[in-house]
Chain A
């Protein structure tokens, strides 16, 4: 790669942070990666708004209005946008709530669940509204690459970045391909 570092942004939408943990599972190999890349907005930095980036990694599906807004900001600012993990790719385990109506889910948790004091569905304007369903990120914005897995392994991230840094099209070796 040339002398300027790749700008990298990451975010977790309706994710569990497991994909970020798997990213960190690159262990000491992260050091080598950081010689070629620096972080912009990410849960690992303090940067609040995303700037112009080369790569955006999206973990998690889209379950609420804020997720959709953040995802669109990432798309607008990232040259390459990557859906990371099962949730971003097809909604993942959180999409199992699509079996029920949103109202049913909210009532079960905030009104009818056990041990609830002052049952009330939270309605403060600060809170992002949930969407009717959990959506894969590819149904909201265009995605350039997909890293499957729940989560993808550290090796998957490594293969991906190695290819990008060498200016090749990332292709996952079969042995790193898994959805679970």
Chain B
């Protein structure tokens, strides 16, 4: 089987981590709704929050907001803050109206926000009550997407973790792949796994509630996304076994991810080679085109999605970039350890953020490419730093072999653009 070689000088797993607290320039977990609702086609996400929450979703969803999306905000008003019992009645009424208008909805998520949590509005009680009332047509669950509890992609984690306890029990020895992937990517993954003779493969989240996602003591699960810490723990509580692996970015990451699963399910090295050889060659070729622009360029990651460490691994090993700082909102050894092993020593590894101090470091480093959020991107461009805005990495298909070239190109494009624009007068 094809394991990537560890870096000669050692990886970053035991490197000291710069832990920072202070102002964090990050999204809250509510943002996860924007891509989750596309994936789960019979689900509606009802945020119980303030006008700020609705405004955030509107800003994050862009033009999606005009396409009758399956999410909304029950905006708390002054009267709701006065008495607790009232708020529960109000919520029941809003849910009643929503479900009568949208008979296609089979799963309803009550999503907690900062205001709903600070006033201690019990959404789990509400979910139980509403589930009983609307069963069997609609299942109502709750989770927190608040900024005080979750950072950006952790919203997906909280949502999936809320689903784990209610998944049907199975005794089958099956593979469960966890993490919302774009449909096209998911199909490629399933076809690779079926080529390896692994199946049926269960998915979390599935595209609809009737899909047979089940879990049990013989389930082995692989994470497709690096931000699923809570879901990872919830699955372990159901007795399922984690297959640790680097995340499937790039040719090497995808191969290592598949290899870990193949080992778990006893696939022969010959068969593995046979299935992966052609797509590996394609991926290497596609990455090589972008790597011409990226090789030797320095790289700085602001914390955003927890995809930073695996992406830094891909960009340094497969594209020849030199990471200077790799910051993540959270780092968990069980999830990020395999990627840290492969990331060559050198970069500062940071957890958390104090944005002004981090900006000082970026200015001192003057990296060739800075990966950051939309609040920082234009200001840094104005200071002469090329940036790649991070949120695109969550929305664009980037996983597995066929997307490896696109992934590298996302990082190459800002650098090529900077080289292409010549607005000064000729001298």
A, B co-complexed: no
- A residues contacting B by CB (< 8 A) are none
